[in-house]
């Protein structure tokens, strides 16, 4: 029987979740192209990163404004270890490193990441151009950990062939799911995001009969109608809180890959007002529940990265708190030809090699 799992949805927010703080493009429209950049901040690179964070909205406007249908949006997330190096400001209450998971058969690794850039548009060239500006500004101050260019596939399908994103919350429910409300007053309008890069074994997947694939996902492949399957991916990810209400996240997974190299993947991205919700889903997927020892989608999809970031509000980027350590300095570790550990060194001056300068509205004359 189709579609009869009971859903009791949390009603949409009644107050303005985020209490007036403008979020970044977290709630942005799902688009046909995206670039995901995961970076770590090199010792001494903090000032350059901060300059870029302040300029990101302006850079996005520069690239996107002339292409109204392009829907270019940008989100930057900050990793747990980077927070105290970048800002003299209270930590977001639930910011912590991604918690790796080892289940009976599958492992979700935690991988490095101080910064996540999630760039979305209807055209890949807009994401590409914005990513180029970002990297041009940050080169020498950061190390690239991962870069993925994602695309929408057919009628919003993942590379396993199923429509992905159907049960995403919308409107007020999306806001309630994805944004921090008044529970963390220093960070209202912010969000937490978890990303994982999955590689699919499509040869193995495609040997399964379609009915078996449908049982694993929990939806019909052609019609996208939901199935009543307790052990499916959909069922394992339908979770409820102590109040019996369904707890949701806002996803914008993207297929990516390289047919030439035989690489086929899904870049999972989930925004939530508390990382607990996504973590509970991951726990069920990897370690199971009463219905299943683990999510069988993992027999065909290997997680190769895993990182958690805090996404500050747009207002936060507009008016960054000061650098820690009283301003102009960062502690750098010793490296050949560099000062000893613990020596305070001046942070490098900001280098906008594109010559665009500071595009932040609040600081542009």
Which residues of this chain interact with ligand HEM, rule CB under 6 A? 158, 160, 162-167, 196, 198, 217, 219, 233-234, 237-238, 249, 253, 266, 268, 270, 278, 281-282, 285, 297, 301
Is the distance from CB of 295 to CB of 284 less than 8 angstroms?
Answer: yes
- Between 125 and 203, name the residue whose CB sits nearer to ligand HEM: 203
- Between 34 and 53, name the residue whose CB sits nearer to ligand HEM: 34
- Between 249 and 323, name the residue whose CB sits nearer to ligand HEM: 249
- For 284, the enclosing helix (H) or strand (E) is helix 275-287
Eight-state DSSP code of residue 153: B
- For residue 298, give Cα distances in angstroms to 181, 199, 295, 325: 33, 10, 6, 44
In the block, tokens 């209400």 appear at 245
- For residue 310, give Cα distances in angstroms to 112, 190, 287: 14, 7, 25
To ligand HEM, the closest distance from the beta carbon of 123 in angstroms equals: 24
To ligand HEM, the closest distance from the beta carbon of 219 in angstroms equals: 5
Q: Look at residue 64 and give its three-state secondary structure.
A: helix
Is the distance from CB of 308 to CB of 97 less than 8 angstroms?
Answer: yes
- Between 26 and 41, name the residue whose CB sits nearer to ligand HEM: 26
- Between 51 and 226, name the residue whose CB sits nearer to ligand HEM: 226
To ligand HEM, the closest distance from the beta carbon of 13 in angstroms equals: 19
Is 125 marked active-site? no
**Cα separation, 67 vs 98, whole angstroms:** 36
Question: Which segments within the chain are labelled E, that is strand?
Answer: 33-41, 73-79, 101-102, 107-108, 115-121, 142-151, 191-200, 239-240, 246-247, 250-251, 254-258, 263-272, 301-303, 307-311, 329-331, 344-346
To ligand HEM, the closest distance from the beta carbon of 266 in angstroms equals: 4
The partner residues of 295 in beta bridges, in order of sequence, read none
- Between 136 and 246, name the residue whose CB sits nearer to ligand HEM: 246
Catalytic choice (51, 164, 252, 283):
164
Can you read off the two tokens belonging to residue 76?
């930057």
To ligand HEM, the closest distance from the beta carbon of 166 in angstroms equals: 4
Find, among 167, 314, 147, the residue nearest to 251 by Cα.
Answer: 167
To ligand HEM, the closest distance from the beta carbon of 227 in angstroms equals: 10
**Cα separation, 77 vs 315, whole angstroms:** 14
Residues designated catalytic:
164
């Amino acid at each position: 029987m189709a579609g009869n799992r009971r859903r009791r949805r949390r009603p949409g927010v009644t107050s303005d979740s985020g209490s007036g703080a403008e979020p970044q493009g977290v709630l942005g429209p799902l688009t046909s192209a995206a670039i995901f950049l995961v970076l770590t901040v090199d010792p001494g690179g903090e000032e350059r990163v901060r300059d870029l964070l302040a300029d990101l909205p302006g850079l996005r406007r520069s690239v996107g404004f002339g292409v109204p249908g392009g829907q270019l949006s940008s989100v930057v997330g900050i990793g747990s270890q980077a927070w105290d190096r970048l800002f003299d400001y209270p930590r977001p209450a639930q910011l912590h490193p991604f918690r790796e998971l080892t289940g009976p058969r599958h492992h979700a690794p935690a991988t490095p990441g101080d910064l996540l850039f999630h760039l979305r548009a209807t055209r890949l060239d807009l994401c590409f151009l914005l990513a180029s500006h970002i990297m041009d500004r940050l080169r020498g101050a950061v190390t690239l950990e991962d870069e993925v260019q994602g695309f929408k596939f057919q009628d919003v399908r993942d590379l396993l062939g199923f429509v992905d994103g159907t049960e995403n919350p919308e409107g007020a429910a999306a806001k309630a799911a994805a944004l921090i409300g008044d529970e963390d007053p220093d960070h209202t309008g912010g969000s937490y995001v978890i990303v994982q890069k999955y590689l699919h074994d499509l040869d193995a997947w495609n040997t399964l009969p379609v009915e078996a694939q449908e049982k694993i996902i929990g939806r019909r492949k052609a019609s996208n109608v939901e199935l009543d399957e307790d052990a499916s991916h959909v069922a394992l990810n339908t979770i409820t809180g102590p109040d019996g209400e369904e707890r949701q996240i806002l996803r914008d997974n993207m297929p990516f890959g390289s047919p030439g190299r035989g690489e086929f993947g899904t870049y999972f991205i989930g925004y939530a007002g508390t990382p607990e919700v996504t973590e509970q889903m991951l726990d069920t997927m990897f370690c199971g529940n009463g219905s299943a020892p683990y999510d069988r989608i993992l027999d065909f999809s290997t997680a190769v990265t895993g990182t958690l970031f805090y996404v500050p509000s747009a207002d936060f980027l507009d008016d960054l708190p000061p650098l820690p350590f009283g301003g102009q300095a960062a502690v750098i570790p010793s490296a050949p030809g560099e000062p000893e550990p613990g020596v305070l060194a001046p942070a490098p001056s900001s280098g906008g090699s594109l010559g665009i300068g500071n595009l932040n509205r609040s600081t542009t004359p």
